[in-house]
Amino acid sequence: MQGSSRVSLTELQEFLAGQYQDAAATDLSASGDTLLNLVPVLEKERSLRTTLADSSLSAEAKTGIVDKLLGEQSTLAVSTVKNVVSKRWSSDEDFVDAVEYAGDSLVLMAAEKDGHIGEVEEEIFRFGRAIDANADLQMALTNPASSADEKSGIVRSLLEGKTNQATSKLIGHSVESLRGRRVQDAVAGLSQLAAERRGQTIAEVRSAIELTDEQRDRLAAVLSKQVGRDVELNIIVDPAIIGGLQVLIDGELIDGSASSKLEQARRKLAG
């Protein structure tokens, strides 16, 4: 997100943080469900999302639409959507992303309140690694010929009864509503959001070989010192790296791979 959307997202984060103390875990979870169920409606109904994202329309008019849409839902769900529609978004796509962000956050807040946030964060992280390692699973979850129900069915078959309910809910919604994103990126975003609720950040590390426990611990310690908070590593074994490492953290790429250095040398020789 850029411009006004970035400012609005920060304000939304502050609003959500203010709801955590007083709301019960059940209300947080149910409200998160409501927002995540609203996302596919907004995707399908272009006129609805553009109207709700229209900064020239009065806040009163937009909150009136929200009341009609969600009048039977919890107070927290309604107030959260009203908070989103009251802000300025650079595009209707950013608006939909914000509704999804709020829904994901509320579900994670419920898991945190119930004492399961560590479990959920680990399960999302492991699912992300499974996708990275399985090209067939990537294709199954991104196949345009498959319906949202078919994709969520794959997630249920893999996770239901084996993970926390919040994990299955969040990942299931994510693969049903990719909106042009790679499934790896969508799940990585969830993983980062869950890690942030634990005061951590995720570093995606690409290496030609699997790192030893000692190497992982040393790298995590260096990165944690660099960013000022705990870092969890998502290690992806990629033979194309040849040697060294590529690290993506907080949107910054640290490229120390041999393949990158070889490419730099090739470019210099080519003039």
Give pLDDT tens digits for 135-162.
898 888 888 888 888 888 898 899 988 9
Lookup: tokens for 222 = 């260096």
CB 18, CB 83: distance < 8 Å: no
Distance (Å, whole) CA 254 – CA 248:
6
Q: What is the pLDDT of residue 243?
A: 80
Q: What is the pLDDT of residue 97?
A: 96
Q: What is the pLDDT of residue 234?
A: 78
Distance (Å, whole) CA 30 – CA 27:
5
Residues 6+ apart with CB under 8 A from 151: 140, 141, 143, 175, 176
State the residue for tokens 């299931």: 172
Q: What are phi and psi of 193, to 5 degrees?
A: -65, -40
Lookup: tokens for 245 = 């490492």
From the options 3.40.30, 3.30.70, 3.40.50, 3.90.550, give the CATH code of 200-270: 3.40.30
Q: Which of 93, 107, 84 is nearest to 29 (CA)?
A: 107
Q: What is the pLDDT of residue 192?
A: 85
What would the pLDDT profile of 231-267 be if each residue is shown by its tens digit? 888 788 888 887 888 888 877 888 877 666 556 655 6
Q: What is the pLDDT of residue 4?
A: 87
Q: What is the pLDDT of residue 198?
A: 79
pTM for the full predicted model? 0.79
CB 202, CB 129: distance < 8 Å: no
The segments of the chain whose pLDDT lies below 50 read none
State the residue for tokens 């996302």: 39
